[in-house]
Each structure stands twice: as structure tokens, then as C-alpha cells.
Structure 1
Amino acid sequence: MMSAARRSKSYYEPARWYDLRDFSQLGDVPFFLEMASKCGPDVLECASGTGRIAIPLAQAGYHVVGLDRDEAMLRRCREKWRAAQAQARGTLRIVKADMTDFRLRRRFDLAFVAFNTFLTLARLEDREKMIRCVRRHLKPQGRLIIDVFQPSLPALASDQPERLDFEIEDPQTGCMVRRYSRARRDMSTQQLEMTFEYRWIDPEGQRHSEATTFPMCVIFPIEMRMLLEYNGFEVERVLGSHDGSPFEKNSPLMIVIARRSNRSVRRSA
């Protein structure tokens, strides 16, 4: 049968398949629950998506605002929250907004951006805008956590050919859906052009695909520290894993925990 291909309207990943993946091996939900217990009850998640982390936080008793700009992700989050909120001990407010430019009439003990989403801010000015916007919404001594992968120079030396990432079953159709990824790298700008493509065969035998392409930046440890310190934060700790392991040269992740500083923010040139 002929194939049907289309571009996804989602910025990052199609919402209808995002929650079908098994994220339990990441360990990030227990990590952010622990961090919230140390920081305070008011929590902001930037790029909260379908509520994978925001909803467990609200269920555990925290007062959470989750913001995202992808309407399909937000719609899925609202559906999940309606089903969960009766048993929740906290609250969740779901906001459609860009994490580089939002205005909320409250301040938070903890703000975070998880699962590499900070890296989708490919332009330096957008990364600075996001950090400064979050800073304005934090209480004195409030924390910001940025959770990204640690770049590997050998892996960044050439383009990533297409590879199969995983396969999942679509419960609505019973079809097996496979996600493939590929990346084009430009180290002169420290940017990647990522493509995620979902492919499946429907019950009539027709092949389908849905792809989304988006930019990602590459940030090295010293750059991350400077980015935060120039924009009103003091880095307290850097972890290499959600299990609390210290950051080392071979750590898979770079989880930066920064405290809102009282120093004046550097002015842009």
C-alpha cells in the first residue's frame, strides 16, 4: 500500500504517544519529588508537557504550575489531571505559555526544566530570557534545576544516522509504532537539528509516518555555570544522575541546581 506521511504539529513529540513510553528507568520523578521536599511547597515546571512530572508532584501535596506552549500536550495534561485531582493532596494549574516569556502572579520555591527540554532553546538569547524570567518568579533563595545530557565530543563529531529508538503499541488501534531519530550536527554553532519520526502500519496495511524536526543546542559544563551566574544565580551543586551521583567526566547527565542570587543581573550588550 502507498504510504501516508505528514509533519507533526507538535514542537517536540506527538502528545498521543508520549505517555505510552516507559520513563520509569529515568528516575526523574522521584528526584524532583525529593527536591521539592527540600525546597518548599510552591513548584513551577517549565515545559511540563503532558504532566508526567507535574501531576505526581501535585498528587504528593505540592502546589504546582505547569506551563507549556504545545496545545496537544496541555490538552493531554488536563485530561490526566481531571482523572487524578480527586485523590491529589496538592494543586496543579496548567498554563499555556512560552517558558522564555511568561507572567504569573506568584513566586515559587522551586522551578525546573526536565528531560533535555532546556536544550530546545537553541539561541543563547532565548536561554538567557528563560533563566531571567524564571528568576523573577522565584522567592528569595528559590532554586532552579536544569536537567540535560552531558555532551560527548566523540558523539558530536559527526551526524547521527537514522536509528530505531523504541517501539510501542498504540492502544487505540493495536498497531505497533516505531520511533526513529536522526540528527544533523553543526559544531560551529553548537547546534543539532533533531528529527523524530514515528512509523506504523494500519490494520489495512497502509504505511504511515509522522515526523517532527526541531533544533537543540549543545551546552558544556563551564558554559552552563556561566550562563546561570551571569543571569542571577549561584550554582550550588551539579549531579551526574537522578540518583544523586556527583557529576564526573563520564556522567550521562548534567543536573544543575542553582540558587537565586541577590546580585544584580548582568545587562545584555
Structure 2
Amino acid sequence: MDGDYVLKKALENAEEYNDPILYDQENESFQDDIPFLLKWADKAEGPIVDLACGTGRATIPLAEAGFEMIGLDINGNMLAEAKRKAAERSVLVQWEEQDCTDFVLPNKSRMIFTVGNSFQHFLTNEDQDRLLNSVCKHLESGGIFIFGTRFPSPGELLQPSTEEYWRSYVDRDTQQKVDVYTISEYDPIEQLQHYKTIRRMEERETSSRITLRYTYPKEMERLLTKHGFEIVHVFQDWQETLLSKDAYQMVYVCEKVG
């Protein structure tokens, strides 16, 4: 598949990331995955790669803990904010603006991860194959790949196609209350959830769209095995709760075999 086409499709699904300041306001408070990543980072040597690193929500804390970090993302706006935050906190990170499905780094790593449910941005079988091929190429034998993705539970997939309230917060710049609503539509054939997010303030309203891929556990097992990974753990949260039918997330720890 042509690299320019892949890049174009990835950027078409990037409305939610056009404003990195807004993204951080809505997501930076989530820190549940950091202790989990730190535990596994302690077992790794050399550079650790954060794929789809965004504004460095996970990259920067690991760098502050003393780990050699590479943050890689396709979105230049998100990376610019990551660089600004890292400089503000006097943290050294190697930032790379590259496509996660076709990235090139000079050295292999003992640990690669992608969090924030970024795995769901790879919408086709071909996208997932290219991502895992790239990860496998850049992992040492016995290296660890960690990622999280939403569990395809009925409650997750069968969300209402009408507006549903999600959350509220106060915008740091305007000090206005922002009420956030979502509308979703699931395509069971393509396994894609189409989301529209609506943000309402006192005097205006904005909206953005994103599409996410859902992958079932047995499907994931075969996919990872095909690409040379052994599944070490599957949890339903970052607190290491074993996966159950009531899960809303799947956290995978995989080892490169051979």
C-alpha cells in the first residue's frame, strides 16, 4: 500500500488531535497507566519507544523517571506541544514525526508501547499488520510490546446514536464550563465505531469526528501470534485485573519471540 495514501488516511481521522491544548485538558489527568509502564520500564535496557505519543502524556513522566525515551507520532501539532512541555520541565526526549505503521529508527529497543487506546486508530487489517510489522522490526528478541485497546463489550459497542452526555470541565483559558456529549454509530461488518464529539460552551458549540476499530480477544490472539508475539499478560485495566466478560478495556503485554 502506498505510504502517501496511508499518511492521508491517518490524518483524515485526526480531528480530535488538531488542538493539542484541548486534548490535554480532556486527557492529561489520566495517569493510571504510568505506574504500570514504569514497572516494565525497570526491566528494559536502552531506549524505550512511545508510539503515537501525542503530547507526551506518558513519554515525559518516564523520561523524568530517568529512562531514555523516544516519542513518535504522525501529528506535528501534538509533537510541538510535547516538545514545549518537555522543555518546560527540562526533560530530554527524542521526538520523531513519523507514521507508526512505517517508522524507521536506527536502533532496536527492549520495550515499545502505545497507550491512550491508540491501537484503535489502525482501522483496517492492513493497518494493523503494518503497525505490528514495524513494532516487531524495532524490538530486540525477547523485547516487550505493551498496548491498550477498548474491549468490544455490548455496552461499548451499542451506545446510543443520539446525544449522550459524557463529562464537563472548565476551560483553563476562558474559565468557561464545557459540557461534552457524544454520538456514536457502530458498523459491525467493518468493526468500526464512528464518534461525533460535541462541546458546548456559553456562547458557542464545536464538534469533531473520529473513527475507532474494535478487535475481539481471539482475533487479537491470532493477530499477535501471526506477527511473532507471545502474549505474556492480558488485563482489563492498568491495575492488572485479569480480563473478564465485564471488561471495558484490554491491556496486552507481549514478548517478541525469536
- Please classify the TM superposition score into its range, dividing by the shorter chain length: 0.7 to 0.9
Q: Cα–Cα, structure 1 residues 158 and 178, in superposed 2: closer, same or farther, change >3 Å?
A: closer
SS in 2 for 1:145: strand
* Structure with more helix by fraction: 2
Q: 2:247 aligns with which of 208, 233, 251?
A: 251
Is residue 73 of structure 1 aligned with residue 74 of structure 2? no
Where does residue 117 of structure 1 map in the other structure? 118
Mapped to 1, the partners of 2:220 and 2:161 lie a distance apart of 24
Residue in 1 that maps onto 2:220: 224
Counterpart of 2:210 (choices 208, 214, 226) is 214
CA–CA distance in structure 2, aligned partners of residues 177 and 246 of structure 1: 35
Shift of 1:41: 4.1
Partner Cα distance (1:55, 1:22) in 2: 15
Please state how far the C-alpha of 1:246 moved relative to its aligned partner: 1.6
Offset at residue 12 of structure 1 (A): 3.0
CA change 1:208–1:159 in 2 (3 A) is closer
Aligned to 2:42: 37
Instruction: Give the Å deviation of 1:36.
Output: 0.9
CA deviation after TM superposition for structure 1 residue 148, in Å: 1.1
Q: 1:27 aligns with which of 21, 26, 32?
A: 32
SS of the residue corresponding to residue 19 of structure 1 reads helix
Deviations 1:164-219 (A, max 9, x none): 22222222222222222211111122111112232323xxxx3231x221221111
| 1:266 corresponding residue in structure 2 | none
Instruction: Report the counterpart of residue 198 of structure 1 in structure 2.
Output: 199
Consecutive unaligned residues in structure 2, runs of 5 or more: 1-11
Computing the radius of gyration from Cα coordinates, the structure with the larger value is 1
Where 1:17 maps in the other structure, the secondary structure is helix
Query: What is the aligned-residue identity percentage?
Result: 26
- Whose strand proportion is higher, 1 or 2? 1
TM-score (norm 2): 0.88
Contact 2:123 2:192 in 1 (8 A): yes
| Distance change >3 Å, CA 253–CA 83, structure 1 → 2 | same
For 1:83-130, what per-residue CA distance to the aligned partner results, in whole angstroms no more than 9, with x for missing partners?
112xx4xx4111111111111112111111112111111111001100
Letter of the 2:25 counterpart: L
Residue identity in the other structure for 1:28: D
Alignment of 1:94-243 (within 5 A): 94-157=95-158, 159-201=160-202, 206-209=203-206, 211-243=207-239
Amino acid at match of 1:119: Q
Q: Which letter maps to 2:111?
A: L
Runs of 5+ unmatched residues, structure 1:
1-7, 263-269
1:12 counterpart letter in structure 2: E
Give the superposition deviation at 1:259.
0.6
- SS for the counterpart of 2:175 is coil
What TM-score, normalized by structure 1, do the two folds share?
0.85
Give secondary structure in 2 for the equivalent of 1:250.
coil
DSSP 3-state at the match of 1:20: helix
Distance 1:157 1:24, change over 3 A: closer
Aligned residue identity for 1:70: N
CA–CA separation in structure 2 for the residues paired with 1:159 and 1:232 = 38
RMSD: 2.0
Q: Is 1:15 paired with 2:12?
A: no
